[in-house]
Amino acid sequence: MTPFDHLPLKTPRLLLRPLAPADAESLFAIFSDPAVMRYWSTPPWTSIDRAHQMIANDHTSLPAGEHLRLGLEIRDTTQLIGTCTFYDFNAQCRRAEIGYAMGSAFWGHGYMHEALTALLEYGFRELDLNRVEADIDPRNLASAKCLERLGFQYEGLLRERWIVDGEISDTGFYGLLRREWKAQLRQPPPGSASP
């Protein structure tokens, strides 16, 4: 697999880059927030050790190409506000899953759409992915809206797939194909004049 440890991606407002030891406090602030973790696959973090573990894991996994997790940094302030990830790569089927999290103070500003657009473009263009999948709690309407805005299609409900802190929840399963991504890039933005 492709090594990812020196990979930055830039968007107009964000730098998507590998996590560094200095990010531990910001990561802990994000992943210890019950609002952020409400629909996550694990309970909120209770120790900053989890942040150090994540960073250490990436230190070995990114060079090996096992997964691609990038921190979302606001370029103007250098503040880390979230993460986005490709994981569960299947080389034969050219498939990966996508995951993402953002500090609740930054919701509603379009940052995640901007970040995932860059990550998906990298995945389809540079990694030659054919399909990207997302597994979300169907009660997470903001996440569903984000995926649908990116072109993901709802593909079904997996009942009672998760049990987190004793709470049972379903999975809303979404998929995006390379050909769909490319077709939507060729579409003019809504409201633009036709030639």
The per-residue pLDDT for 189 is 57
Q: How far apart are alpha carbons 170 and 39 in whole angstroms? A: 10
Domain ranges of the chain: 9-186
Q: How far apart are alpha carbons 174 and 111 in whole angstroms? A: 20
Q: Sign of torsion, CA 36 40 42 48?
A: negative
Amino acid identity for residue 163 in this structure: I
Q: How far apart are alpha carbons 38 and 104 in whole angstroms? A: 11
Residue with the two structure tokens 């050909």: 179
Residue-by-residue pLDDT tens, the chain, 195 positions: 677 877 899 999 999 999 999 999 999 999 999 999 999 989 999 999 999 999 999 999 999 989 999 999 999 999 999 999 999 999 999 999 999 999 999 999 999 999 999 999 999 999 999 999 999 999 999 999 999 999 999 999 999 999 988 999 999 999 999 999 999 887 765 555 544
Task: Residues 9-186: name the CATH superfamily.
Answer: Gcn5-related N-acetyltransferase (GNAT) (3.40.630.30)
Q: How far apart are alpha carbons 152 and 102 in whole angstroms? A: 19
Amino acid identity for residue 32 in this structure: S
